[in-house]
Amino acid sequence: MKKLLLALWVFSLSATPLQAEYYTLALKEWRLAKAAAQFTEPIEEAAWPTTVITEEERRRWGWFNLRDLLEYQPSFYLIQDMNERVVAHRGFYRTITSELLFLEDYIKLNLPEFQNLTLDRTYSLAGVSRVEIMRGPGASLYGDAAFTGVVRLERKALLPGLLRVGIGSYDGEEADLGLDCNFSSLGKLRLLFHYADDPGEIYHSPEGNFRLHPRPQNYSWQIRSFWEPFEAFWFHFYSRYDTPRSQSGSPLSALDRKPFGSFEKVWQDILGFKWEKEWKGWRLVLKPYWRYFKSHTPQVRSTHAEGAFLALDIELLARAYGLSGEFYRKHRQGTFLWGFSLEEEDYEQSYIRTFNGTDLGAIGHPSKSESHWSLFAQEKLTLGENWIFNLGGRYDHYESFGGEFSPRASLIWKGRPSFTFSATWGRSFQAPVYFYRQRNRLSGYGAASELEAEKLETLSLDLYYHPSPRYEGRITWFWEKGNDLLVYNARERVYQNAGKIRLWGLEVDSRYSTESLMAFLNYSFYQVTESDGAPAQGTRVFYLPRWMLKGGVSARLRPGLYLSPQFRWYGRARGREGWLSPYLLWDLHLLLGYRSWSFSFKIENLFDKHYWRGGTVPPAPWPGRTFWLRLEKRF
């Protein structure tokens, strides 16, 4: 890291400072959204409640990765499991975070087969100008990955580049390098490289010592080229997590890690091409793509100390390639959208080795190819001066389990220029993963019978208030009904479509933004009304706080200097081994900017509380007070 800092200093001596105003918060960005409709529209006209976070807000609050950003949003909570990377949203969670769709512009970031995104330290927010968070099922436009919501990111021009380096507690390091290269008539080339090494805090417990959140040597790169009307891209991600505990939650010894080890490594590549053209009033977009996914994840199901040692060594490999297209046409009363997708997924390898301390076994699942196609359409109509009607639907057909139809209908009333009320109903689904469909009692994965898609039906009533360009407030009431939810039968050691749940929730969100003062405050609450087989008991979902209160204030101390305290207050949650008490956490971020330079100092968990989160394993403490120093140069 010292070499990186020295290189940055030497480079700055020859770099020409970018003569631009440091504070460029564009309030109009609050007023535009795209995730809910796939085309730009005023945010109050979005079918589902949507939050837009600008780059300046991220910088002021010190949100440098997706986990930091999402945790401060309404209804988001980080579940603790063996890999400590599960994002829960609106009462739903998966061990692979597959209920949310992540997009960079139009590029789908979720892995093939599992439809998840390994967040944490792999994906860089450097240069991301906007983040849209749509809270509501998006299957009517996007298909199965958008089960409860969509997170859409936009990366702006780097002008022509940036270099960011950082050091943190427990030997943490990170670096970002981004460049925009213009080649006149040949177009523009954008390069972005990201590296993060976060070994994690060593925690001493009576059961043994282990690291908290060990994420060493994660990296990614992006290459994008632009020349009208074409665009090509190649994204590569490498994510690593050194699993410190068994699936039952016990710390691992050196003996437990033999013969396979205990970690999770994921490789992902996304290659694609985009062609866009205007023709006779239509905007046509075609996007061929290829996606690659490889995972190697040795796991310890139970340790030697527990008396029933079992270790697994899992290797997976999948590829997907396809073509998608959208056709837009604006007309007198609104906008019509029609689209399609064709995809083939190849499951090249599914291999598990097992070891019980004496015997070594091997399990292999055959390679297989499965096809998937979809058709979708959406009509947005303006009715008179105050009413908007949005109707959409998508049909997905999977070779493995048949078809799913995902409709959506929204009625919006713009009573006053500052006041909007909307009512939206929609359905979504989550396709069963091929790996979970393979029967295998020994490994603890697989299903006893054919799995169906999980179903979710949502009704949302939303009141949006924006009396001035600097302030917005929103109150959302939602009701959800989930059927055929995938649950794990511990006795049979198989997955089944045996879960159902009904719940309602409330989200209150407000924000204020000026250069001298930023503030936000949001509150989330949910209550289960019916459950069977789903991870719920009484009126609660296991491991999730019933209520959450989050907020912060960012004040300008002098030009270019901002101090931003922020907090998260979580209600009581039901854990595996009893109740978890409510807890309050504080973060503090200091940002100093001058011309093309910026310096950031962040303290996470300011008061050093080793707190416990709800999770699928016996609770272990979250890291204590953590420091991060970051230096950024734009050139």
Amino acid 475: pLDDT: 98
pLDDT for res 259: 87
Tokens of 565: 């305290």
Residues 310-348: b if buried by 16+ CB within 10 A, e if exposed: bbbbbbbbbbbbbebebbbeeeeebbbbebebebebbbe
Q: Residue 83: its pLDDT value, please?
A: 67
Lowest-pLDDT range, 103-117, 287-301, 333-347, 577-591?
A: 103-117
- The residue-averaged pLDDT of 341-369 equals 88
Q: 189-218, pLDDT tens digit by residue?
A: 999 999 999 998 888 877 778 888 889 999
Task: Look at the alpha carbons of 15, 19, 25, 31 in this order and tell me if their dihedral is positive or negative.
Answer: negative
Q: Which residue has the higher pLDDT, 521 or 488?
A: 521
Give the SS3 label for residue 184: helix
Side chain identity at 281, as an amino acid letter?
G
3-state secondary structure of 512: strand
Task: Name the pTM for this structure.
Answer: 0.92
d(CA 243, CA 298): 9
pLDDT computed for residue 28 by the predictor: 65
Count of C-beta atoms within a 10 Å radius of residue 357: 13
Q: How far apart are the C-alpha atoms of 39 and 285, rounded to whole Å?
A: 12
The residue among 82, 99, 103 whose CA lies nearest residue 136 is 99
Contact residues for 7 (Cβ-Cβ < 8 A; gap 6+): none
Q: Which residue has the higher pLDDT, 532 or 620?
A: 532
Tens-place pLDDT, residues 310-330 = 999 999 999 999 999 999 999
- Residue 441 has a pLDDT of 59
Dihedral-angle region of residue 304 (phi above 0 means left; psi in -120 to 50 means alpha; beta otherwise): alpha
Tell me the three state secondary structure of residue 616: coil
pLDDT at 555: 97
Cα 603 from chain centroid (whole Å)? 23
pLDDT at 488: 80
Kindly tell me the sign of the dihedral angle through the C-alpha atoms of 470, 128, 75, 609: negative
Q: How many Cβ atoms are within 10 Å of 167's Cβ, its own excluded? A: 18
3-state secondary structure of 419: strand
SS3 breakdown of the chain: % helix, strand, coil, rounded to 5?
A: 10, 60, 30
The pLDDT tens digits for 68-97 are: 899 999 999 988 877 666 789 999 887 665
Give residue 258's pLDDT band: very low, low, confident or very high (50, 70, 90).
confident
Residue matched to tokens 């690291």: 211
Q: Which of 148-152, 165-169, 225-229 has the lowest mean pLDDT?
A: 225-229
Question: Does the pLDDT at position 8 exceed 70?
Answer: no
Say if residue 13's pLDDT is above 50.
Answer: no
Amino acid 417: pLDDT: 81
Q: Give the C-alpha separation, 148 to 139, whole Å.
A: 9
Q: How confident is the model at residue 494 (pLDDT cuts 50, 70, 90)?
A: confident
Considering only 21-25, 151-155, 490-494, 588-592, which range has the smallest mean pLDDT? 21-25
> Which pLDDT tens digit goes with each residue over 129-143?
999 999 999 999 999
Query: pLDDT by residue (tens digit) across 14-23?
Result: 333 332 343 4
Please report the sign of the dihedral spanned by the C-alpha atoms of residue 255, residue 256, residue 260, residue 261: negative
Q: How far is CA 542 from CA 92, 231, 527, 572, in A?
A: 10, 45, 12, 11
Confidence category of residue 176, pLDDT binned at 50, 70, 90:
very high
User: Could you read off the pLDDT of 582-634 as tens digits, one per residue?
Assistant: 999 999 999 999 888 999 999 999 999 878 888 777 767 788 899 999 999 99
Phi, psi (rounded to 5 degrees) for 476: -130, 125
Per-residue pLDDT of 377-430, as tens digits, reads 999 999 988 999 999 999 999 998 899 999 999 999 998 888 999 999 999 999
Is pLDDT at 449 greater than 80 in this prediction?
no
Q: Indicate whether 349 pLDDT > 80.
A: no
Query: Count of residues for the chain?
Result: 635
Region 19-44: what's the mean pLDDT?
71
Whether omega for the bond prior to residue 259 falls within 30 degrees of 0, making it cis, is yes
d(CA 311, CA 253): 13
Q: Which two tokens stand for residue 216?
A: 């060493």
Mean per-residue pLDDT over the chain, rounded: 88
Q: Are 325 and 285 in contact (CB under 8 A)?
A: yes
CB 486 within 8 A of CB 519: no
The class (CATH top level) of 2-634 is: mainly beta
Q: Which of 15-29, 250-264, 485-499, 506-520 has the lowest mean pLDDT?
A: 15-29
Residue ranges of domains in the chain: 2-634
* Nearest C-alpha neighbor of 415 from the set 445, 387, 380: 387
Q: How is residue 136 annotated by DSSP?
A: S
Q: What percent of the chain has pLDDT over 90?
A: 60
